[in-house]
Chains A and B, each alone.
Chain A
Amino acid sequence: MTVIPGGGLMNPRMTFATAGRVLAQLRHDHRTIALLLVVPCLLIALLAWVFDGQPAVFDRIGPLLLAIFPLVVMFIVTSVAMLRERTSGTLERLLAMPLNKLDLLLGYALAFGILAVVQSGLATAVSLWLLGLDIAGSAGWLLVTALLAALLGTALGLLASAFAQTEFQAVQFMPALVLPQLLLCGLFVPREAMHSVLEAISDVLPLSYAVDAMAEVATSSGLSGQATRDYAVLAAFIIGALALGAATLRRRTA
């Protein structure tokens, strides 16, 4: 067994096995895959149509949605998947086995990260080449930002699922935890233009940084210092949420 010496925090073989298992579960669920891939494209197309007469508005908001979709979708999918793991007893079985908690969390992150790349790639391609989205930045950085947003959604979903006892509760976390971030992230009103209290709140919400980063890479060619800083904050949120998620995952339960 290849346990990292000293720490024993993770084991790549088990992380990959877990990611493979999660992807296999998705593979058997064609409808979910179709929904995950098609819905974002349809929503973006709808947005383009709504702003048919104002291409400048679509050019500003379109990229932001490419960050928001993966975060929201992966948040819901992950928190429900993890809750199913808990209620089906498979979590209890896994935690009685030589699986590190991080292997489970990283396995989920890896699987949903791969899914997010496909989802965002498709939505980005549709936006750029079918809907005429016009951005100054490169599609590559758009994808990187979307991937980070998806990983953030997955990490937050894993963390949130620790506080849900039922599916009903897990689903309610979406409006409770994600919608406020959506209102404050700068999509509707630029963050600088909000009341200073709201701006301060939005400064500590992770979605703000995903949206900021997306706005930045869409409007400047290459990677600006601002975007790099946003990426660093996003990475810190992802690592922090995963670490907290691992800490709240208890092997012994009442």
Chain B
Amino acid sequence: MEGTSAVVVDQLTVHRGGNVVLDSVTCQVAAGSITGLLGPSGSGKSTLIRSIVGVQRVSSGTVQVLGKPAGSKSLRSLIGYVTQAPSVYADLSVRENLRYFAAIMGASPSDVDGAILAVGLKDKSVALVSRLSGGQRTRVSLAAALLGSPPVLVLDEPTVGLDPVLRRDLWEMFHELAGRGTTLLVSSHVMDEADRCSDLLLLREGKVMAQGAPVAIRDRTNTHDLESAFLALIDSEEAMAR
């Protein structure tokens, strides 16, 4: 799969509420990669993710997923999507939620148990989602995206509010999935998660600031960690603007 792109975004511009939120964004997500989507709050990460999933109204530019225009009917069973806020039914149990989403995705009922296991909610499977903690709800929402093993996973801050052990376990699962050929696009605020990605996409004020492997971005900015690299990029950009 080396070299092929699962997602190709070309000169994508999106307006929301009268403002330019994505400004001629061009980027790719390599097939089988774990691409981290990083950027400050409000930089447009969720908007880019929504555009890739095909639920965002866009102003201009194109988004292709697996060679088809984003939002195509045939893509709907090929993309697992986790929204930033957990989007599951609070008045259903974990298992009832997943059984419903499995039916819609055309996944087998046995997938439900696998997904519950994968996010570590086995002992909560009959609990109502409204009685779960915030992090547990996040995991139910993530489990729903795993149903049917879609070849592309688009995850908007899936590890927010989770403890280090859980985060490590989930990232191990992401790597396992990528090893089996799944393409993952994962947005995050947390820079230490960036080092677990094979590729990074840095977004700032609706523009792509940098794209590349973590090592390459560190080398380019002469820094040792990504947090400093990010700040260095912002500084050099502001210096250029002056």
Chain A interface residues toward B at CB < 8 A: 1, 8, 13-14, 17-18, 20-21, 24-25, 28-29, 88-90, 92-99, 251-254
Do A98 and B73 touch (CB < 8 A)?
A: yes
Do B105 and A24 touch (CB < 8 A)?
A: no
User: Could you tell me the distance between the alpha carbons of A20 and B92 in the complex, rounded to whole angstroms?
Assistant: 12
Do B96 and A24 touch (CB < 8 A)?
A: yes
Q: A88-B89, A90-B87 are in contact. Are A14 and B144 (CB under 8 A)?
A: no
Instruction: Let me know if B53 is at the binding interface, CB within 8 A.
Output: yes
Give chain A residues whose Cβ lies under 8 Å from the Cβ of B103.
13-14, 17
Do B91 and A28 touch (CB < 8 A)?
A: yes
Do A97 and B76 touch (CB < 8 A)?
A: yes
Give chain A residues whose Cβ lies under 8 Å from the Cβ of B68.
none
Do B91 and A29 touch (CB < 8 A)?
A: yes
A146–chain B nearest beta-carbon distance, Å = 26
A29–chain B nearest beta-carbon distance, Å = 6
Q: A17-B100, A97-B101 are in contact. Are A90 and B57 (CB under 8 A)?
A: no
Give chain B residues whose Cβ lies under 8 Å from the Cβ of A89.
83, 85-87
Give chain A residues whose Cβ lies under 8 Å from the Cβ of B16.
254
B99–chain A nearest beta-carbon distance, Å = 8
New contact pairs (14) apart from A21-B96, A88-B90, A89-B83, CB-CB < 8 Å: A14-B104, A18-B100, A18-B104, A28-B92, A29-B91, A89-B87, A97-B77, A97-B104, A98-B105, A99-B104, A252-B57, A253-B56, A253-B57, A254-B16
Do A252 and B56 touch (CB < 8 A)?
A: yes
Give the contacts of B41-84 with A (CB-CB under 8 A). 53-57, 71, 73, 76-77, 79, 81, 83
Interface centre among A21, A24, A96, A251 (most CB of B within 10 A): A96
Partner of A96, one of B81, B89, B106: B81
Give chain A residues whose Cβ lies under 8 Å from the Cβ of B85.
89
Do A25 and B92 touch (CB < 8 A)?
A: yes
User: Could you tell me the distance between the alpha carbons of A1 and B76 in the complex, rounded to whole angstroms?
Assistant: 13
B155–chain A nearest beta-carbon distance, Å = 13
Do B83 and A93 touch (CB < 8 A)?
A: yes
User: Could you tell me the distance between the alpha carbons of A5 and B90 in the complex, rounded to whole angstroms?
Assistant: 35
Interface centre among A13, A21, A99 (most CB of B within 10 A): A21
User: Could you tell me the distance between the alpha carbons of A21 and B71 in the complex, rounded to whole angstroms?
Assistant: 25
B104–chain A nearest beta-carbon distance, Å = 5
Q: A88-B89, A93-B81, A96-B81 are in contact. Are A251 and B71 (CB under 8 A)?
A: yes
Instruction: Let me know if B233 is at the binding interface, CB within 8 A.
Output: no
Instruction: Let me know if B213 is at the binding interface, CB within 8 A.
Output: no
User: Could you tell me the distance between the alpha carbons of A179 and B105 in the complex, rounded to whole angstroms?
Assistant: 40
